[in-house]
Amino acid sequence: MNLPDPSAIIDLMDAYRRSKTMFAAVNFGIFDLLHEGPRTAQEIAERLHTSLTATQRLLEACAGLKLLENREGLFSNTPEGDTYLRQSSPQSLAGYILYSNQALWYCWGNLEDAVREGTPRWEQTFGSPGPIFEHFFSTPEKMRTFTMGMHGLGLSTSPHVVRAFDLTEFHTMADLGAATGHLIITACESYPGLKGIAFDMAKVIPIAEEFIAASPARERLSAQAGDFFTDALPAADLYALGRILHDWGEDKIRLLLRRIYEALPAGGGLLIAEKLLLEDRSGPLGAHLQSLSMLLVTEGRERSLSEYKALLEEAGFVGIEGRYTGKYLDAVLARKR
């Protein structure tokens, strides 16, 4: 009997082990420690106050994953590990990895119940009800971890989003829910004639101001505190929403799009950065998996371009275009007549 190749199934059986190995190494700060120079397992275990034999296993597994190099028992970072897994790296993805390790990892353990009931699992997982973002920002440490997680992903995607369309006709761009301001900073660095405003909750603004101060375009950038659902929006002829709409259900999206449309001048635009599902819903896989993640922790989901187009047209927008960037996020541009 010729049986199908089980390799893909076996790979998925093991996939969580690879993720958790990386999560644990980042959580221990191993990549930051090795940025100082190569070390043996004993030296690392002594610094971390961990079991030597267990630390040896973790390091060897990371080397097997090509996150570390192992040269006769002396461990060092690979270029990828040093760039993306070191918490102190400017290009670090460690924030999102820590958020995945501390929150998403546990929520995904309740996926069956989420599918059965069609509702988020935050209260089931952590025992506390309430809006999800209240938990993300409940302490300065949690807020910075989550915000820096979004920043790390943003650094790799924002350049592709702001160049998906020619934005030279716009004068002032306000990024609503800007977090560290990576999208608006990238836009202003890409378009010399553009001014930018990072708009987010008051507690996030100091983090955005850190990154604005470090940007070559800082003279054209500013930060403003507010709630995009309730407060007056900054005056701008281009608004941006980066990974915002997928957090919410249709009612909240309609409210936000209506507020943006009313605030825009004639001819103004709205730039959206989200994962776009293909129209036949055959992919991409990353968007489907992200949609499951949104089921677990928010009231939102991922959508296709036609689904976003329907919501935008209902709010009054015209000339709606979408671009698949081939990167972590895609782009949509809509205009006010």
- Per-residue pLDDT at 128: 77
- Per-residue pLDDT at 130: 61
- Residues 297, 190: Cα–Cα separation, whole Å: 34
Preceding amide of 284 cis, omega within 30: yes
Nearest Cα neighbor of 245 from 231, 257, 234 is 257
- Per-residue pLDDT at 135: 66
Q: What are phi and psi of 79, to 5 degrees?
A: -55, -40
Active-site residue, selected from the candidate residues 135, 151, 160, 246: 246
3-state SS of the chain: helix, strand, coil percent to 5? 50, 15, 30
Matching residue, tokens 């028992």: 73
Predicted confidence (pLDDT) per residue in 38-79, tens digit: 999 999 999 999 999 999 999 999 999 999 999 999 999 999
- Residues 87, 159: Cα–Cα separation, whole Å: 22
Q: Is 321 helix (H, G, I), strand (E, B) or coil?
A: strand
- Per-residue pLDDT at 249: 93
Q: At what angle do helices 250-263 and 305-315 cross, to 10 degrees?
A: 50
- 228 pLDDT higher than 70: yes
- Residues 324, 89: Cα–Cα separation, whole Å: 28
Predicted confidence (pLDDT) per residue in 165-192, tens digit: 999 999 999 999 999 999 999 999 999 9
Residues in contact with 235: Cβ distance below 8 Å, sequence separation at least 6, in sequence order: 172, 174, 263
- 134 pLDDT higher than 70: no
Q: Report the chain's mean pLDDT, rounded to a whole number.
A: 95
Residues in contact with 176: Cβ distance below 8 Å, sequence separation at least 6, in sequence order: 199, 200, 228, 233, 239, 240, 241, 244, 256, 260
- 236 pLDDT higher than 80: yes
Residues in contact with 306: Cβ distance below 8 Å, sequence separation at least 6, in sequence order: 279
- Residues 162, 242: Cα–Cα separation, whole Å: 11
Q: At what angle do helices 205-213 and 140-162 cross, to 10 degrees?
A: 50
Catalytic residue list contains 246: yes
| Domains of the chain from N-terminus onward | 7-92 (1.10.10.10), 154-336 (3.40.50.150)
Separate counts of helices (H) and strands (E) for the chain: 16, 12
- Residues 11, 79: Cα–Cα separation, whole Å: 25
> Greater confidence, 18 or 103?
18
pTM for the whole thing?
Answer: 0.92
Q: What are phi and psi of 335, to 5 degrees?
A: -130, 155
335: β partners: 269, 318
Instruction: Tell me which H or E stretch contains 312.
Output: helix 305-315
Residues in contact with 158: Cβ distance below 8 Å, sequence separation at least 6, in sequence order: 182, 183, 185, 186, 187, 242, 273
Q: What is the β-pairing status of strands 238-242 and 276-277?
A: unpaired
Q: Dihedral angle at the C-alpha atoms of 216, 218, 219, 222, nearest 10 degrees?
A: 160
Q: pLDDT class for 145, splitting at 50, 70, 90?
A: confident
Matching residue, tokens 């943003």: 154
Hey, CA dihedral for 134, 136, 142, 143, is it positive or negative? Answer: negative
